[in-house]
Structure 1
Amino acid sequence: MPLPFLTADRAFDDAADDQALPFDHRDRWRRPYRPGPWRVGAAALLLLLASYVLAAAVIITVAGTLSGGAVCFGVALFIIVCALRLLRVGTWVSARGLRRVGFFSTRTAPWEQVVSARTVQQPVRWLGLPRTVQGQALLLVRKDRSPEDAPPLMTTHNADFLGRPQAFDRAADTVEAWAAEYGPGR
């Protein structure tokens, strides 16, 4: 069964080096990189947990307590939704703008408001935890906000790029190319 969210940047791998934006349908929201192994591994563990909870729901329902089985089934559905949302987290681009999808919220910045997207060397959070390490971050500079207020779009130490510096460089270059092509100075 094909999993399109895992092959998001196949077009980037297959594209020629001189083509920064290889997609034909630029109005669709796309993630310019593959989800990292940490993110996919966490989602897989959540789905494994959900399978055990579903099995428990069946056993509880067969044992005769329908309400307990329904609660277990609801918990399993919640875990599945969390795993799927975890796979959607990241930076997405289209001709309409740049979208930062978080676990609880999604923010979209139209390209008209984007001044630039740039990579900077700064302390970044390791896997989203409070611990910070020195790394690179992709920052989005917008007209309506100061650069200091903007959280990084991607870092070299988040769940998508930890241990994959080449993937971060390629994804950051791609987002910067989208900003250069569709930004207000085009």
Structure 2
Amino acid sequence: MPLTFLTADRAFDEAADDIALPHHDENRWRRPYRPGPWRVGAAALLLLLASYMLVAAVIVALAGALSATITAAVSAAVVIALALRVLRMGTWVSAQGLRQVSLLTTRTVPWQRLSRVRTVQQPVKWLGLPRTVQGQALVASPDGKEPLRPLLTDHNADFLGRPGAFDRAADAVEGWAAHYGR
């Protein structure tokens, strides 16, 4: 079973530099970059923890404690769901607009409501932690509304140590904004 949310559309990687929107189905939500090693590593650690929890549930079930078995199995299911959500986090684009997926919330803004999308130099969070460092961020400004949190930064879990990947992803999102925005 292919897990399409784990990888970016291959067309983004294989497209020539002069093609701004390498896509076939513009209405499908897609992440214009691959998840970074920090994000995949965190999800892998969560899945490893869930596997230990499931083994513990089996051991507890063999011991005959039904309520503890259910607690361990439900806890493992929550950790698995958390790992999948960590993998889905990021910026997604389609013809409808721009979607920011975070751990607990998802925010979608139509392209027509964004006044501009651009890359700026500013203090950014390092791996989403409270510590900030000077870096690049892709920011979007909606019409007359509070600015969105940075769409992408060069120090987040997808792009830390991968400046070329950040540049390609920022160019792809800016290309979608130029094509579908005003």
**Which residue identity does 2:42 align to in structure 1?**
A
**2:41 paired residue number:** 41
Query: Hey, what does 2:178 align to over in structure 1?
Result: 180
Aligned to 1:145: 145
Distance (Å, rounded) in 2 between the aligned partners of 1:79 and 1:5: 18
Taking the TM superposition and a 5 Å limit, the aligned residue runs for 1:43-122 are 43-122=43-122
What amino acid does structure 2 have at the position aligned with 1:77? A
Identity of matched residues, %? 66
What corresponds to 1:168 in structure 2?
A: 166
SS of equivalent residue, structure 2 residue 22: coil
1:6 matched residue in structure 2: 6
Q: Alignment length, in residue pairs?
A: 182
The answer for unaligned runs of 5 or more in structure 1 is: none
Secondary structure of 1:180 counterpart: helix
Deviates more, 1:48-57 or 1:8-17: 8-17
Amino acid at match of 1:22: P
C-alpha contact (below 8 Å) 2:36/2:157 kept by paired residues: yes
* Secondary structure, aligned partner of 2:79: helix
Paired with 1:13 and 1:53, the residues of 2 have a C-alpha distance of 37
Normalised by the length of structure 1, the TM-score is 0.94
> What is the rounded CA distance, in whole Å, between the counterparts of 1:43 and 1:80 in structure 2?
9
Give, in angstroms, the shift of residue 118 of structure 1.
Answer: 0.2
For residues 100-159 of structure 1, the C-alpha deviation after alignment (integer angstroms, 9 at most, x for no partner) is 00101000000110111000001100011110001000000111325xx43111100000
* Alpha-carbon offset, residue 11 of structure 1: 1.1
Work out the CA distance in 1 between the residues paired with 2:24 and 2:2. Answer: 21
2:154 aligns with: 156
Query: Would you say the 8 A contact 1:5–1:34 is kept in 2?
Result: no
Whichever residue aligns with residue 14 of structure 1, its letter is: E
- For structure 2, the residue ranges without an aligned partner over 5 or more in a row are none
Moved over 6 A (4+): none
- CA–CA distance in 1 between the matches of 2:41 and 2:143? 37
Q: Is the 8 A contact 1:119 1:138 kept in 2?
A: yes
Q: Give CA deviations for 1:32-72 in whole Å, capped at 9, x if unaligned.
A: 00000000000000000000000000000110101100000
Q: Residue type of the partner of 2:139?
A: L
Structure 1 residue 125 corresponds to structure 2 residue 109: no
Distance 2:7 2:67 in 1: 40
Query: 2:7 & 2:48 partners in 1: Cα distance?
Result: 22
Contact 1:111 1:183 in 2 (8 A): yes
Q: Equivalent residue of 2:122, what SS?
A: strand
Q: Deviations over 1:138-182 (max 9, x none)?
A: 000111325xx4311110000010000000000000000000000
